Amino acid sequence: MATGGGTIGGRRPGEDPAAAVIAATPRGARLAEWFDRQARTLFVMPAVVMILIFSIFPLIATFMLSLSRVRLRGGGYRIRYVGTQNYEKQIFGSEQWHFLGTFEEVSVLGWIVTAAAAALLAWWLIRYFGGRSGPVSVVGTVGRLITASVLFGLAFMFAATLFSGTRLGTLGVTLFYVVVGCGIQFLIGLGLALLCSQPIRGRTFFRVVFFLPLMVTPIGIGFTFRMMADTGKGPFAPLWQWFGLGDFAWAVNPWTARAFIIVGDSWQWIPFIFVVLLAALENVPRDLVEAGHADGAGSWQIFREIAWPHIVPVAATVMLIRVIEGFKLVDLPNMMTGGGPGIATESMTLHSFFAWRALDPAQSAAISYLLLFVTVVLCVSYFMLVVRKRAAVYG
Amino acid sequence: MTIKRSLAAATFGATAALTAAFMPTANAEMKHEGVTVNILTRPGPVIAGRLEQRGEEFKAMTGATIEVATVPFADLFQKLLTDWSTGTNSIDVGVFASGWAVELADSDLLADLSDFVANDPGLMFDDIAPYFREFNQKIDGKTYLITVDGDFHMMYYRTDVLEKNGLEPPDTWDEYLEVAAAVHGQDMNGDGEADYGSCLFKKRNAQSFWLILSVAGAFLQSQGTGQGIFFDTETMEPLVRNEGFKEALRILKETGKYGPPDELNLDVTDTRPIVLSGRCALLLEWGDIGPLSIDLTQSKIDGLVASRILPGSRRVVDRATGKLTDCTPELCPHATDGVNHTPFAAFGGWSGAVNAKADPKVIAAAYDFLSYMNAPEQSNFDVTQGWTGYNPYRVSQFENIQPWVDAGFSQESAENYLGAIGQSLNSPNMASDLRIPGTQQYEGICLDREIARFLAGEITDEQTMDNIYECWEEVTEDFGRERQAALYRASLGITN
* pLDDT, mean of residues B238-261: 96
Q: Cα A268 to chain center, whole Å?
A: 15
Please list every residue in chain B whose beta carbon sits closer than 8 Å to the beta carbon of residue A231. 261-262
| Contact across the interface for A343 and B474, Cβ inside 8 Å | no
The single-letter code of the amino acid at B72 is: P
Tens-place pLDDT, residues B133-170: 988 999 888 999 999 999 999 999 999 999 999 999 99
User: Residue A383 pLDDT more than 90?
Assistant: no
Of B108, B205, B474, which is closest to A340 when you measure between CB atoms? B205
Confidence at A394, pLDDT banded by 50, 70, 90: low
H helix count then E strand count, chain B: 21, 15
Question: Is A340 in the B-facing interface, judged by CB distances under 8 Å?
Answer: yes
Of B267, B452, B474, which is closest to A342 when you measure between CB atoms? B452
Measure B179 CA to nearest chain A CA, in Å.
22
User: Residue A3 pLDDT more than 50?
Assistant: no
The single-letter code of the amino acid at B156 is: Y
Q: Report the percentage of chain B scoring pLDDT > 90.
A: 65
* pLDDT, mean of residues B405-410: 89
Measure A73 CA to nearest chain B CA, in Å.
7
Long-range contacts of A114-118 (CB under 8 A, 24+ apart): A114/A155, A114/A156, A114/A159, A117/A151, A117/A152, A117/A155, A117/A156, A117/A159, A118/A152, A118/A155
- Phi first, then psi, for residue A218 (nearest 5°) are -55, -35
Confidence at B444, pLDDT banded by 50, 70, 90: confident
Please list every residue in chain A whose beta carbon sits closer than 8 Å to the beta carbon of residue B263. 249
**What pLDDT does residue B94 have?**
96
Confidence at B1, pLDDT banded by 50, 70, 90: very low
Tens-place pLDDT, residues A154-169: 999 999 998 988 889 9
Question: Is A254 in the B-facing interface, judged by CB distances under 8 Å?
Answer: yes
- CA separation for the pair B231, B235 (Å, rounded): 8
**What pLDDT does residue A166 have?**
87
Please list every residue in chain B whose beta carbon sits closer than 8 Å to the beta carbon of residue A343. 449, 452-453, 458
**What pLDDT does residue A9 have?**
41
Tens-place pLDDT, residues A27-37: 788 888 888 88
> Mean pLDDT lowest for which of A10-19, B244-253, B425-434, B467-476?
A10-19
**What pLDDT does residue A393 have?**
57
**What pLDDT does residue A103 have?**
87
Tens-place pLDDT, residues A104-130: 888 999 999 999 999 999 999 998 888
Question: Is A332 in the B-facing interface, judged by CB distances under 8 Å?
Answer: no
Angle at B410 between CA B407 and CA B414, to 5 degrees: 80
- CA separation for the pair B261, A392 (Å, rounded): 54
| Contact across the interface for A94 and B449, Cβ inside 8 Å | no
Q: Which residues contact B194 (CB under 8 A, 6 or more apart)?
A: B185, B186, B187
Confidence at B496, pLDDT banded by 50, 70, 90: low
**Domains of chain A and any CATH numbers:** 167-394 (1.10.3720.10)
Q: Tell me the residue ranges of DSSP E strands in B277-362.
A: 280-285, 305-308, 315-317, 324-326, 344-345, 350-354
Question: Is B110 in the A-facing interface, judged by CB distances under 8 Å?
Answer: no
What does the mean pLDDT of chain A come to? 85
Please list every residue in chain A whose beta carbon sits closer than 8 Å to the beta carbon of residue B86. 76
| Contact across the interface for B444 and A358, Cβ inside 8 Å | yes
Of B107, B440, B449, which is closest to A74 when you measure between CB atoms? B107
**What pLDDT does residue A368 have?**
95
Using DSSP's 3-state secondary structure scheme, residue B176 falls into: helix
Measure A108 CA to nearest chain B CA, in Å.
22
The count of C-alpha atoms lying within 13 angstroms of the C-alpha of B494, restricted to the half-sphere facing its C-beta, is 15
| Contact across the interface for B262 and A250, Cβ inside 8 Å | yes
Tens-place pLDDT, residues A325-335: 999 999 999 98
* pLDDT, mean of residues B354-383: 95
- DSSP H or E segment with residue A179: none
Q: Which residues contact A187 (CB under 8 A, 6 or more apart)?
A: none
Among candidate residues A89, A149, A32, the one with its CA nearest the CA of residue A362 = A89
Question: Is B478 in the A-facing interface, judged by CB distances under 8 Å?
Answer: yes
What does the mean pLDDT of chain B come to? 89
* pLDDT, mean of residues A389-393: 61
- CA separation for the pair B25, B116 (Å, rounded): 13
Question: Is B199 in the A-facing interface, judged by CB distances under 8 Å?
Answer: no
- CA separation for the pair B44, B49 (Å, rounded): 5
Question: Is A342 in the B-facing interface, judged by CB distances under 8 Å?
Answer: yes
ipTM greater than 0.95, yes or no? no
For CA atoms B224, B227, B228, B230, the dihedral sign is negative
Of A71, A233, A341, which is closest to B264 when you measure between CB atoms? A341
User: Residue B376 pLDDT more than 60?
Assistant: yes
Confidence at B87, pLDDT banded by 50, 70, 90: confident
Using DSSP's 3-state secondary structure scheme, residue B152 falls into: coil
Tens-place pLDDT, residues A88-110: 999 998 888 899 988 888 899 99
Kind of pairing between the strands at B344-345 and B36-41:
unpaired
The single-letter code of the amino acid at A330 is: V
Confidence at B20, pLDDT banded by 50, 70, 90: very low
**What pLDDT does residue B18 have?**
46
Kind of pairing between the strands at A68-73 and B93-97:
unpaired
> Mean pLDDT lowest for which of A23-27, A82-86, B132-136, B363-367?
A23-27
| Contact across the interface for B264 and A251, Cβ inside 8 Å | yes
Tens-place pLDDT, residues B199-221: 999 998 888 999 999 999 999 99
| CB atoms closer than 10 angstroms to residue A350 | 25
**What pLDDT does residue B415 have?**
85
Confidence at A135, pLDDT banded by 50, 70, 90: confident
